[in-house]
Chain A
Amino acid sequence: MTTKQLSVVGKSFQRIESKAKVTGSAQYVDDMQFGPNLLFGKLKRSPIPHGLIKRIDTSKAEALPGVRVVVTGQDFPGLTGLYLSDRPTFAVDRVRFVGEAVAGVAAETRELAERAVELIEVEYEPLPGVFDPEFGASPEAPLVHPDLMDYECAPFIFRQEGTNISNWFKVRKGDMEAGWEEADIIYEHAYKVPQVQHVPLETHATVAQMDGNGKITLWSSSQSPFAQRNLIAKSLGISHSKLRVITPYVGGGFGSKAGVSMEGACVIMAMLAKGRPVKLVMTREEEFYTTFVRQGLTAHIKMGMTQDGRITAMQNTYYWDAGAYTEYGVNITRAAGYSSTGPYFVPNVHADSYCVYTNHPIGGAMRGFGMPEIHWATEQHIDRMATQLGLDPVDVRLLNCLKDGQETVTGMIMHPTGLSQCIAQAAEALDWGKASKPSAPHKRRGKGIAAMWKAPAMPPNPGSSATIRFNEDGTCLVNVGGVDIGQGALTVASQIAAEGLGIPFEDVRVNTVDTDYSPYEWQTVASRITWSMGNAVLRAATEAKEQIIDMVAEVWDENPEDLDIIDGHVVSFASEESIPVKNIVVYGMQKPDGTWIGGPVVGKGRFMPDYVTPLDAETGQGPRAVVHFTTGAQAVEVEVDEETGHVKVLKIVSAFDVGKAINPDLVRTQMEGGAVQGLSTALLERLVLEEGQPKNPNFTDYRIATAVDAPPEMVNIIVEVPQDDGPFGARGVGEHPMVPTAPAIANAVRNALGIEIDAMPITSEKVWAALKAKNG
């Protein structure tokens, strides 16, 4: 990295697509027009949580005029999955959760498709279900996947034969006996997190069409166009070159649109639709429990601390309510295991993270990928122990938090990190230690803090690539495979490209994804896009810039070292010559002898981390578990109504170490959005499941935070300790702001009232009940 002054990176440009969004002209999948040829798809779903399919009769549906396609699992029995291929597109002989697709219909109108689905008869033999992960992990539990060991599986996932455990991640580090011995107090407690839903405002939406050559195009509201192409092509046994995925604007994802959920069903129906396009859009109800949810968690935490607050040992057991299929979830439970200490130095660790099949909706990636759940437990636990010892929770965190060069839970050496600054600055901005006055006699105020860490959780080798091409007027097009799901990926890519090329930000445009034309990107997940795709973009820019400079140097007969591109002009520091790039990036340049060199400039770049190592299956130890950790902290102030239990969050201070803020305002808006999503899950959200039946799959009874529930004040602090292999030192921050919010609020509520809430969410009623219990 040069010390050159940055002119585009580090500035808060408005996002490049915002005008399309405020005028309503930005097109999302369901907005695209396919003409009167379009068929409407609908899925027949299981009404029971667990059972064998005895019979499916589709004849009445097929006989309904206007019905064009009827398909069941018998027609396409292939399995799919990101890390573990355990999931059929349509259930074949067994259903494992309420809402599982058992058949699909495509018809001339939506109403016809709905009617046809009702006409499909399915006979089930109900089986006993698993509705609690701890029970699910026990030997008494019925098996949800008797064929678990037959599935294709990533090498770092450890299934347990004859159980419902599809991954068991272990940490065995240090000497537990010595750790407990050294501790002055030992505290053990259990915490719970329910399944919640991502609630993107745009539900999952797809259209698929097959042409006469058998080539299928899938328009998909997706975070993962390439992963979808890969997984769907593999499960259908077709070539990747026969499947094209196009992703226009996406109305939010938060992880729910990563990997594959219902998209394969749309592709299958299109394959049978004789060339007609088929649209499949989830209703809000379907979105709530048939695509992905966040996994539930029961966490048992045992921690030892010395008198002065030093953590001596930690024993964590996680039972994940991972749902009916864990193809994606297995890796969440792995990430939880290798992050299980939270952002602290703990010499002695014993951790078990069990991914447990249940007959619940499918757990998938959600903003934070396991971290909000495990931090809910550890960040409350630390706080409670600090109080037990009469210590300040901020001091205890500052004492234990990971510093550069310390060993993490898996034995990796911590890279330079601004964690301590984040904790200290968040506390300071909240006037930590100073009580403020409640607004009414029946209200109490409290402050709480929580710290966090999170690494991009992914396979060791997820790749990114980018190309840059110039137009005749000197503007350029950056092609990437990452998706802007609202986080600002397109804008950040533009800024990195502009900076790398030396041209104005306004001259760079970035396309949305089309797998036939966009270069490969693994997935838009794990807060990895700014860092990984950003690296690819910067390399592409660097290559394009070299092409331009080499050409000019040759024509001017100068040393390329003396040339640079500044504000769209190639300038020479030696000769003080200058030429606009627009004159030369397509047509090349004429040499003094009258001949031409150069030609259309095309830069390409790719990036893949090449240093991540495997971890030992028995101890979870290894030199480099992950690429890096983004760290941070949030401090919150709440006011609680002692009579109703209502918690009002007055202020959230967020401080995160982003390495380098490519666009500071985009970083701040991630912090604000993440904090409010965190607040919403903390106070309101739970998918209520009774024997596997969802009871609140609608906004009437699954409430999310509104503008009134959001805090009136949010402060965002950007800490920048550069990432050695990040573009301009950047690392990601998309997920992190929702990780510490819930425990920070819980800690603030405890500070206000002296009550402890073990199970999320902190509803008014729970606070009320806890107060009653406390006051007798």
Chain B
Amino acid sequence: MKHDINLTVNGELYNLTVESHHTLLTILREQLVLTSVKNGCSEGECGACTVLFDGKPVNSCLVLGAEADGHEIVTAEGLTINGQLAPIQQTMIDLGGTQCGYCTPGIVMASFALLERNPNPTEQEIREGLVGNLCRCTGYTRIVDAVREAARLQRTDMTL
């Protein structure tokens, strides 16, 4: 069965016709060609498909596209505004938090959301906040460093 839905993705309104059984992951990747959203498992375990749903990170592989009707989605494509990277994107580059890069957009989204709810996380909070994002390449150290550094940058930014 098909559904007509309206949703906002990265600030733009879209009118889509989606299949009932297609996940938000499928719709973002295949109908909107937002391929930063990766499929690493389809089972909510790897976090590569993490997007913001009304500001909160979710595993888009476990959300039906039809459920997004009337909601607001942000993907990694939407974090870069006027060519300006989000702090977490910049620190992931600077501190070497990406290797093969397949987990990276999901980790960027999860970290972005983590910093929104906790601007000054401890190392343990960062690590626990990222248990839903598997990375097979980096050993996580640089990712944790990048989140910590992005937190610092954002805090300094706010006090300026």
Contacts and interface: CB of A to CB of B under 8 A. Distances in A.
Chains A and B are bound partners: yes
B55 interface: no
A673 B48 CA distance: 18
B60 interface: no
Contacts of A25: 36, 77
B141 interface: yes
Contacts of B39: 30
Nearest to A31: B35
Nearest to A713: B141
Interface in A59-104: none
Interface string A268-283: 0000000000000001
B104 to A, nearest CB: 5
Interface string B110-133: 000000000000010011101101
Contact of A201 (B102, B108, B142): B102
Contacts of B34: 24
A757 interface: no
Given A201-B40, A676-B139, A707 B126 contact: yes
B141 to A, nearest CB: 5
B94 A14 contact: yes
A490 B93 CA distance: 15
Contact of B41 (A284, A666, A669): A284
A18 interface: yes
B131 A708 contact: yes
Contacts, number: 167
Contacts of B148: none
A184 interface: no
Interface stretch (A212-220, A250-258, A410-418, A516-524): A250-258
Contact of A707 (B35, B48, B140): B140
A103 B56 CA distance: 43
A531 B141 CA distance: 27
Contacts of B85: 19, 22-23
Interface in A686-736: 698-700, 704, 706-708, 710, 712, 714
B1 interface: no
Contacts of A136: none
A33 B93 CA distance: 27
Contacts of A23: 36, 76-77, 79-80, 85, 89, 105
A506 B144 CA distance: 28
B13 interface: no
Given A22-B108, A672-B139, A672-B141, A15 B98 contact: yes
Report which residue of B76, B98, B143 has the largest number of chain A beta carbons within 10 angstroms of its beta carbon.
B98
B136 to A, nearest CB: 5
A676 B99 CA distance: 14
A19 B104 CA distance: 11
Contacts of B140: 676, 706-707, 710
Given A669-B99, A708-B128, A22 B42 contact: no
B134 A24 contact: no
A127 interface: no
B102 A488 contact: no
B135 interface: yes
A26 B101 contact: yes
Contacts of A488: 99
A252 B136 contact: yes
A485 B37 CA distance: 19
Interface string A6-31: 00000000110111111111111011
A676 B142 CA distance: 12
A699 B135 contact: no
Contacts of B94: 14
A251 B35 contact: no
B52 to A, nearest CB: 13
Nearest to A702: B45
A487 interface: yes
Contacts of B76: 22-24
B160 interface: no
10 contacts: A23-B36, A23-B80, A24-B76, A28-B102, A201-B38, A251-B38, A284-B41, A672-B138, A676-B140, A710-B139
Given A249-B101, A485-B100, A486-B99, 19 more contacts: A15-B96, A19-B85, A24-B108, A25-B36, A28-B38, A28-B102, A30-B35, A30-B39, A33-B33, A198-B136, A200-B136, A201-B40, A201-B136, A251-B102, A252-B99, A673-B138, A673-B139, A707-B143, A714-B139
Interface of B: 29, 33-43, 45-46, 48, 75-77, 79-80, 85, 89-90, 92-94, 96, 98-105, 108, 123, 126-128, 130-131, 133-144
